[in-house]
Amino acid sequence: MVNFAPADYVVLVLFFCSVLALGFSAKLKENSTLQLVAAGRTLTMPLFVATLVATWYGGVLGSGQLYGRFGLANLTINGLPYWTFGVLFALIMAKQVRREPQISIPERIERCYGKTCGLISAALVMLLASPAAFIMMLGSLLAISTGMEIVPATALGAIVGTLFLYRGGLLADARSNAISFVMMYTAFITILVISITRYGSPTHVASQIEPIKRAWDAGNGLPWVLSWFLVGSWTFVDPGFHQRVASVHSEKAAKRGVLLAVVFWVIFDTLTTLTAMYAMHALQPPKSLELDLFPIYGSAVLPDGIRGVFFAGMFGAILAATVGYTFISGSTLGRDLLGRIKENATEAQLTLYTRVGLAMATVLGIVLALWAQDIVTLWYLVPSMVIPG
C-alpha cells in the first residue's frame, strides 16, 4: 500500500470529485440512442480530441510491464504501430466514417451484408472493445493505493467509475475525459522532470541499461515486430475510433482531430517509456512487480502532494479507458446485438437495452480481468483472435 500524505489525499479526492461531477453533469437532450451513444453527433473538437486520446491510451501500467519485458522496444511495438494506423485512419477513413448515417461498425456491416453478418460483427466488436485490460489495471492501482484486496478493488473501480454512463452516455464519458486528459500529461511530465533532475539525462540512463533493452526489436527480429503491427491494425476497426469519429460535429473536425490525437499519443508514449526506463534503472524490481512499476516508482521518488498528482494522472488515464471501452462494449452488446435480435424495437427499448448492455459489459470485464491477471496477454491475445474475424 502506498503511504499517501494528507496533501496527496486532497489532490486525489479533488480529482475523483471532478471526474464524477463532470460525468454526471451531462444530460441527454432526449431519450434516444443517438443522444446516448453518439452525443447527438455534435461533439466539439476539444472534447473529441480529449476523449480520443484519453480513451485510446489507458494502458499506462501495461506500458511499464512491456518496458520491463522488452525495454525501449516498447515504442516500436506499443507506439509505432498505433501511430501509423492512426494517421492512415485520419487520411483514409475519418471523413467517410463521419459522413455515413450509421454510427457503429455492426450497423454498417448489416447495411452492406445483411442482419446475420451484422450480428456476428457485433459479437466480435463487443469482444474487441472489452474493457477487461483497463479494469485489471484500475483494480491493481486501486489495490496498491488503498490496501484493498484485488477482487473488491477491481469490482469497485469498474462499477463506481462507470455509473455516470447510464445517465449521460458518450457526452458524460467525453466530459469526464477532459480532466483525465489534463492530469495524465501533467503527471508524467512532472515525474520525468524530477527523474532527469535526480538521475541524469535520458541518454545517460539509456547508456547504462543492458544492450538487449536498447534494441529496437528487443532481440526478437522483424517478424516479431510485424506481429505487433497486426495488433496495431485494430485501429482501423477499433469501435472507439468509429464511434467518436461518427459523433464529432463535422467531417473536417474528424480528420483533424484524429491527426491531433496521434500527436498527443506520440508524446504520451514517449513520456511513459522514458519514465519506465528511469523506474527500472532506479528500482530494479522483480518481474512480478513490473505491472506496478509506475505506482512503486512514483511512491518512492515524488514528494508529498506531487505524489497525489502523479497517481491522479495514472487513475485518469486508466479510468478514461475503462469508462470508454465499457461504454463501447456495452452499447454494442445492448444496441447492436440485443436490439437487433428483437424485431422492430422502439427507441425507448433500444435505449434500455443499451443501458442493460453497459451493466453486462461491466460484469464481463470484471470476470475476464480477474481470470487473466496479465495485461500483455489481454492486449496481444484478444485482438489477434478477433481482428482477422
Residue type, 32: S
pLDDT at residue 125 tops 70: yes
User: SS3 of 248, please?
Assistant: strand
Architecture, CATH, for domain 26-386: Up-down Bundle (1.20)
Over pLDDT 90: what percentage of the chain? 54
pLDDT in tens, 86-100: 999 999 999 999 999
Strand partners, 248: 43
Answer whether 0.85 is exceeded by the pTM: yes
How far out from the chain centre does Cα 17 lie? 20
Per-residue pLDDT at 374: 66
Whether 244 contacts 37, CB under 8 Å: no
Provide the residue ranges of all domains of the chain, joining segments of one domain with +.
26-386
- 129-178 pLDDT per residue, tens: 888 888 988 998 898 888 899 999 999 999 999 999 999 999 999 999 99
Q: Are 235 and 241 in contact (CB under 8 A)?
A: yes
Specify the residue for cell string 480529449: 50
Question: Phi and psi dihedrals of 43, rounded to 5?
Answer: -65, 130
For residue range 324-376, what is the model confidence (pLDDT) as tens digits? 999 999 999 998 888 888 777 788 888 999 999 999 999 999 998 888 766 66
